[in-house]
A = this chain, B = another copy of it.
Amino acid sequence: MGQSRTLHSIGSVERDTGIGRDTLRVWERRYGFPVPKRNDKGERLYSDEQLRHLQRIRRLMDFGLRPGRLLKLDAVGLDALEAEILSARPAIGEENIRHVLEVVRAHDSVGLEQLLDESYRSQGMEDFILKTVAPLLHAVGEAWAAGEIAVYEEHYLSQQLIHFLHTRLNRQPRPTGSPRILLATLPGELHTLGLLMTLTVLRARGVHAINLGGEVPMDQVKEAARRFQVEAVGLTFSSAYPHHSIRGDIEELRARLPAETQIWVGGEGVWRLRKLPEGVFKFQSLEKLPI
């Protein structure tokens, strides 16, 4: 029963958790977890349970918790910690958002689209993004931590939102003038929904934004900024983006772009960033876009 069906190589675990190979090995050395089985070649084979445990740890790290503490805990300990975090955060609340979550759990595409559309119509584009979509995404994260929603359901919702935003985006007039903003994420960051939300808010405010989507190499961001003659480059970092690299990456881009080009950074990943290089601005929530 407790026996696992499939075993995972260190490479698959890296992919499925976002935790680097080297990190996994050094954790094993330092904290004594996870200690996987080995095949006859001596290679690590992680069980389903270990994979799941690592995914939970990863998720908790996104809340600012550090490995040294988390890796001491067993499954029960993680349960407790998750419960604690949930109680510390504002409850899901918002009748509206609870409804959406229920519809997602019911896998009802049509109902979902209707619900979104209602909110959109009553709130208008900008408030819809700020007061419905953004809190919804938070709520989904919490629901996952509470075991109420599956990862694939998050993907499902995400796709539905992407589709919804694209279609409504088209109904807004396309701004043509200045200022121009370039939106992208760096390689390693694949969460592009944030970009789309930003694009939508900007367009609702009549700002001309160009979205390059995810995983754009730095030199290409620079080149695009030059050729599109933008005044600012907007990057988003999800909580999944490796904490360590964020500041360095931003500084590197800052060094490459001309000083008159501003850099805006947003997303959950930059939440806890303190000091930023000159000419870099942070927007914690979309409301505070520096425009």
Cβ contact within 8 Å between B212 and A155: yes
Shortest distance from the beta carbon of A59 to any chain B beta carbon, whole Å:
13
Among A35-43, A71-79, A213-221, A274-282, the one that faces the other chain is A213-221
| A107 at the binding interface (Cβ < 8 Å) | yes
Q: Which residues on the B side are within 8 Å of A224 (C-beta)?
A: 150, 152, 155-156
Cβ contact within 8 Å between A220 and B252: no
Cβ contact within 8 Å between A155 and B167: no
Cβ contact within 8 Å between A190 and B162: no
Q: Which residues on the B side are within 8 Å of A228 (C-beta)?
A: 107
Q: Which residues on the B side are within 8 Å of A155 (C-beta)?
A: 184, 212-213, 216, 220, 224
| A131 at the binding interface (Cβ < 8 Å) | no
Copies per complex? 2
Cβ contact within 8 Å between A169 and B162: no
Closest to A215 in B: B190
The 9 closest A-B pairs by CB, nearest first: A166-B166, A152-B224, A152-B220, A15-B187, A155-B212, A159-B213, A167-B170, A151-B220, A16-B217
Q: Which residues of A contact B (CB under 8 A)?
A: 5-6, 15-16, 48, 107, 109-110, 150-152, 155-156, 158-159, 162-163, 166-167, 169-170, 174, 184, 187-188, 190, 210-221, 223-224, 227-228, 252, 255-256
Q: List 29 A-B contacts (CB under 8 A).
A: A6-B252, A6-B255, A6-B256, A16-B187, A16-B217, A16-B218, A107-B227, A107-B228, A109-B174, A150-B220, A150-B223, A150-B224, A151-B217, A152-B220, A152-B224, A152-B227, A155-B184, A155-B212, A156-B210, A159-B211, A159-B212, A159-B213, A162-B166, A162-B213, A163-B166, A163-B169, A163-B170, A166-B166, A190-B215
